[in-house]
């Protein structure tokens, strides 16, 4: 069962991914994690990715999909995976479909976590991070003290309201068309109301998967 998680930054994909994976008894696969692992392991694609990053460039879709594909062919993904952050553009959706087809697989469901923009701005601006050890916090004011190391909490520039609105604009332009692409290709897309308690959202997602 290959599940694609989809949604705005701050919609809670990263929170839901491990919970859903545990319920479905498959691993999660997050692009950032497999990319870092491939770079660390020094695989052929990992070295290409590192060369891009060292030049300050984005890693091209083809390399990322190749790394995701190598990971997905490992035995622990035989029963499927919950993909977090793998598909952000139409090109990546097409690439993933193509790559899965080679091994006779396909995306079984797309779960789109739905949250209104102003709620996202509120959520992300309530997030702070320790400037020393990078521990993330929710609902702690800037300048509070980190429980772990005593460092000061700061808000990431990315999480300032204006920056969040810019990220949401990019999402709407680049990522929202992915939903249309999946619908046009007959993939089951489920919109999940992603406002409320974490366990309620997990339950809605599982219900959308027929669990």
Catalytic residues, by residue number, are 13, 88, 127, 156, 167
CA dist., res. 9 & res. 88, Å (int): 11
Residue 159 C-beta: closest distance to Zn ion, Å: 17
Alpha carbon separation from 171 to 4, 14, 65, 87, 197 (Å, rounded)? 16, 17, 20, 12, 24
Q: Which residue has the tokens 């290959």?
A: 2
Give the DSSP per-residue string, 88-106: -SHHHHHHHHHHHHHTT--
Residue 133 C-beta: closest distance to Zn ion, Å: 3
Closer residue to Zn ion in complex, CB, 131/172: 131
Closer residue to Zn ion in complex, CB, 44/152: 152
Residue 130 C-beta: closest distance to Zn ion, Å: 3
User: Are the beta carbons of 130 and 119 closer than 8 angstroms?
Assistant: no
CA dist., res. 90 & res. 187, Å (int): 14
Interface residues for Zn ion in 145-164 (CB under 5 A)?
A: 146, 148-149, 151
Between 123 and 142, how does the x/- string for binding to Zn ion read (CB under 5 A)? -------x-xx-x-------
Closer residue to Zn ion in complex, CB, 154/179: 154
Residues that bind Zn ion (CB under 5 A): 130, 132-133, 135, 146, 148-149, 151
């Amino acid at each position: 069962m290959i599940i694609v998680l989809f949604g705005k930054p701050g919609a809670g994909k990263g929170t839901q991914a491990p919970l859903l994976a545990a319920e479905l008894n498959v691993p999660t696969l997050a692009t950032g994690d497999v990319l870092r692992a491939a770079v660390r392991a020094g695989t052929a694609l990992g070295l290409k990715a590192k060369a891009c990053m060292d030049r300050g460039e984005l890693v091209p879709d083809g390399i990322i999909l190749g790394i995701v594909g190598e990971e997905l062919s490992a035995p622990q993904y035989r029963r499927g995976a919950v993909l977090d952050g793998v598909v952000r553009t139409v090109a990546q959706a097409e690439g993933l479909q193509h790559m899965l087809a080679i091994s006779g697989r396909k995306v079984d469901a797309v779960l789109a976590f739905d949250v209104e923009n102003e709620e996202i701005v509120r959520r992300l601006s309530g997030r702070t991070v320790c400037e020393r050890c990078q521990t993330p916090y929710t609902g702690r004011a800037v300048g509070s003290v980190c429980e772990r190391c005593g460092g000061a909490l700061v808000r990431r520039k990315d999480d300032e309201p204006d920056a969040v609105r810019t990220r949401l604009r990019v999402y709407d332009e680049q990522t929202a068309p992915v939903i249309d692409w999946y619908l046009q290709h007959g993939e089951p897309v489920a919109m999940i109301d992603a406002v409320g308690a974490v366990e309620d959202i997990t339950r809605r997602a599982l219900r959308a998967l027929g669990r």
